[in-house]
Every structure is written in C-alpha cells, then in structure tokens.
Amino acid sequence: MIRFHLKCDQDHAFESWFQSGDAFDKLVAAGMVNCTSCGSTQVTKSIMAPAVSTSSDVRAPKLTENAIAALRDKVEANSDYVGKSFVKEARDMHDGVVPERPIYGEANLNEAKKLVDDGIPVVPLPFMPRKKTN
C-alpha cells in the first residue's frame, strides 16, 4: 500500500491510499479517483516527502497495518456487506428504490467507474472483505 498526496484541478488537496503507483495511474486514467471536496476526476499527485523508515522507526509499517485494521473494523461494524450485489444496491439507493444505508461490497473497475459516471459516490477500500456472504 502507498499513500499519495493528491490535488484536483480546483486546487483542493487530499490524500488517498493505493495498492501501488501503477494502480493509482490506472484508476486515474479510468476516472476512478475523485476529489474529496468537489468530486473532480482531474486529479494529480502533489509533491510529497517520501516516508523513509529508519532503524529507529521500525513501528511505521505496524502503525499503517493498525490503521487499516481499525478502518476495516469500523466499516464492518457500521455497514452492511452486500458482496457482489454492491452495484445494484448502490444504484437502487441512489434511485430511491430502497432506503439509503452504509454498505460495502465488491465491484469491478468498469462497474465502479459507471457508478461514478452516473453520480453515485463510491470509494475503494484498502482491504479485502473478511466475510463473503453473497
């Protein structure tokens, strides 16, 4: 996992985690990275200092793992896992067919891009779901 400092074409700054630099490039090319302030998909990496671990800073990877584990626990405790039904559920909530609620699940890149293109807010999570009930 890698964290990038990002900036949109409206000069809003934000950060996000990606599997790799290549993953970031692919998601940006597909229009899947959105500004957290305005939703713009015209996003670029900002200049940032690299996080270099030294022998006195061996805790950094553990802190990152703990932060992701804490995020996973929070998402799982406060959201419904809908598995492969994620795209349908998100679209149905957006269209008012079913009541809105926090959900997480699975979607491929093309499905997620189509949701974003249709104005349905989604965000990739930096972990795989523990339970696969659908």
Residue 101 predicted with pLDDT over 90 = yes
How confident is the model at residue 92, as a pLDDT?
Answer: 95
Residue 134 predicted with pLDDT over 50 = no
How confident is the model at residue 77, as a pLDDT?
Answer: 92
**Rounded Cα gap, residues 68 and 54, in angstroms:** 22
Query: The pTM is what?
Result: 0.53
How confident is the model at residue 132, as a pLDDT?
Answer: 55
The candidate with the shortest Cα–Cα distance to 105, out of 84, 74, 75, is 84
Q: Where are the domains of the chain?
A: 2-45, 60-117
Residue 120 predicted with pLDDT over 50 = yes
